Amino acid sequence: MHKTHVYIAALLLLTTTVSAQYTQQITNVRAQARIYADATIRKDYKTIMKYIIIDALPKARLNVMTEARVMNTLQTADAQRVQQGIQIRSIKFGDVLSIVKLNFEFQCTVEQITETKMQFGTIISKSTLLAVSPDNGVTWKYADATGRTCEEMRKIMPRLSPQLIFAKVEPPQFIKEANTVKKTIKAK
């Protein structure tokens, strides 16, 4: 009977420790995702570079992507968005969809909700933010998996676990701006 109590106590302690560890990892992944998202909105490339998974960029598999080339790619993409009248207004996070340990790294997916201002309104889209931690969930790096499934991301990043859960693909919501309608009517 005594051995059973010791076994149950050890099992409860292990369960509590694992649960606390995952709670801390989820806290870290969400807090650092917020820093990454805020840097993306502000176009703070120096901060973005601390949190981006360079291997997740599609061109990274074709070329050796140096930090300078990645920064140039990000700046060019942002300049093109500005020219087209596109601005990311906000990035919010929903549920942590999955967290998996594979070899010596943790991999995680988080639901991401992005509000983007376009010329004729606003688009709200739901996608997956992919996160990878090489140090047991203390620090995380991110890749936006918008429009991609786990299988498609695994083609870009073969080390990804097939057990990762990605957000269900939903069509983006379009909200027509009232000001845009008035401007169009006045122009006629």
Question: For residue 50, is it within any domain?
Answer: yes
The total number of structural domains that make up the chain: 1
Kindly report, residue by residue over 137-181, the tens digit of the pLDDT. 999 999 999 889 999 999 989 999 999 999 988 899 999 876 544
Q: How far is CA 133 from CA 82, 109, 122, 126, in A?
A: 32, 12, 33, 23
CATH code where residue 65 lies: 3.10.450.100
Kindly report, residue by residue over 82-103, the tens digit of the pLDDT. 999 999 999 999 999 999 999 8
pLDDT at 64: 60
Question: For residue 16, is it within any domain?
Answer: yes
Question: For residue 186, is it within any domain?
Answer: no
Q: Which domain holds residue 164?
A: 2-175
